[in-house]
Amino acid sequence: MAFRGIYPPPELIPAPCGVLSVARVTEYTARSYDERWVRGFSFEYDSTPTTLELLTTNDASVTGGELYDGSSDERYADYYPFHIEVEDLHSTFGLPGEDRFDRVKKQLEVATQKALELELWDGPAAKAEFTTNPYLSKTGGATEAAAAGAYPAAEALFHLEQALANSPVGAAGVIHMTRDVASILGSRLVFVEDKDGKPSKAMTRLGTEVIIGMGYSGNGPVGTTNAAASASNRWMYGTGPVDVHLGKVEVINEDLGQGVNASINDMRIKAYRPAAVYFDPSVHYTVRVAVPTL
């Protein structure tokens, strides 16, 4: 049969409005730099002053003027990074001229955002290593209910907006939600467009940044009644700002031959990168959302 030609695959593009559209991202381009943080680090946050209060012109305390008492608060937290890995397994009788290393690296670059979102919401790596890493659905700590019960998405949103006002210094926060909840909210969210006129970043009408995660599960705090996301049940969260650290994408195989299993004529190529994702824990609120069942 005559060779009919091959069309290249469509470009892989991360979904808009995900965690990377909002987070402060630090990328490392060499393994030597990775060594400084991949074994664990501490992160600071400046949002919890020892005291915040109003005083008179004579430096006297004002009744009802204390805004925050952080005398017992920590100013930093420990974090232990994790790794994101992509495996590409195909027959050695693949398409001619195919760059298998390039393909697996592109897959990892795009999949990074979804993997970060899964860890940020449910913390599977943190649970596996029994670390103290913060994640959205973690019980205890600073996690608080913005309101008791379940609410339609629009009402849940205003409960979270008000809860974020409890930020010790009144700093801007971030709201986290699944794509179905964001779709229900519709025009209550504002979208910033990129140079091509496509949505790239979401926020509420008040300007609070919103992460709409492809990797977000919608689960509530572990152990809480109705914690599991279901056909009629989701959760939303409000936190402080989000930070992401990303190590260099590395292909594990030294060459193509190293990935070949000659007995079954397949080739296994793997790429990985270290990563970390966390938020300022000075505010950490949640609210349950009652979504319409289909």
pLDDT at 46: 85
**How many domains is the chain built from?**
1
pLDDT digits (tens, 9 = 90+) for 140-155: 766 788 888 999 999 9
Residue 63 in domain: no
Q: pLDDT averaged over the chain?
A: 86
pLDDT digits (tens, 9 = 90+) for 45-101: 888 888 889 999 988 989 998 888 888 778 888 999 999 999 887 655 565 556 677
**Strand 233-239 to strand 209-212: parallel, antiparallel, or no bridges (unpaired)?**
unpaired
DSSP track, 14-67: PPTTSGGGTSEEEE--SHHHHTTTTT-EEEE-----SEEEEE-TTS-EEEEEEE
pLDDT at 262: 47
Residue 14 in domain: no
Residue 67 in domain: no
Tokens of 10: 């469509």
Residue 127 in domain: yes
pLDDT at 218: 96
Distance between CA atoms of 79 and 134, rounded to whole angstroms? 8
Distance between CA atoms of 20 and 242, rounded to whole angstroms? 9
pLDDT at 93: 58
Beta-strand ranges (E) seen in the chain are 24-27, 41-44, 51-55, 61-69, 76-79, 82-91, 144-151, 174-177, 189-193, 199-204, 209-212, 233-239, 242-246, 250-251, 260-261, 266-279, 284-290
Residue 272 in domain: yes
pLDDT at 263: 54
> Can you give the residue range of the structural domain that contains 278?
19-49+77-290
Distance between CA atoms of 143 and 285, rounded to whole angstroms? 5
How much of the chain exceeds pLDDT 70, in percent?
86
**Residue range 209-235: average pLDDT?**
94
Band (194; pLDDT cuts 50, 70, 90): confident
φ and ψ of 278, to 5 deg: -155, 170
Q: What does pTM read for this prediction?
A: 0.89
**Residue range 153-173: average pLDDT?**
93
Residue 59 in domain: no
Band (116; pLDDT cuts 50, 70, 90): very high
**Strand 233-239 to strand 284-290: parallel, antiparallel, or no bridges (unpaired)?**
antiparallel
Cβ within 8 Å of residue 258, ≥6 positions away: none
Residue 164 in domain: yes
Give 279's Cβ-side CA count (13 Å radius).
34
pLDDT higher than threshold 70 for residue 121:
yes
Residue 58 in domain: no
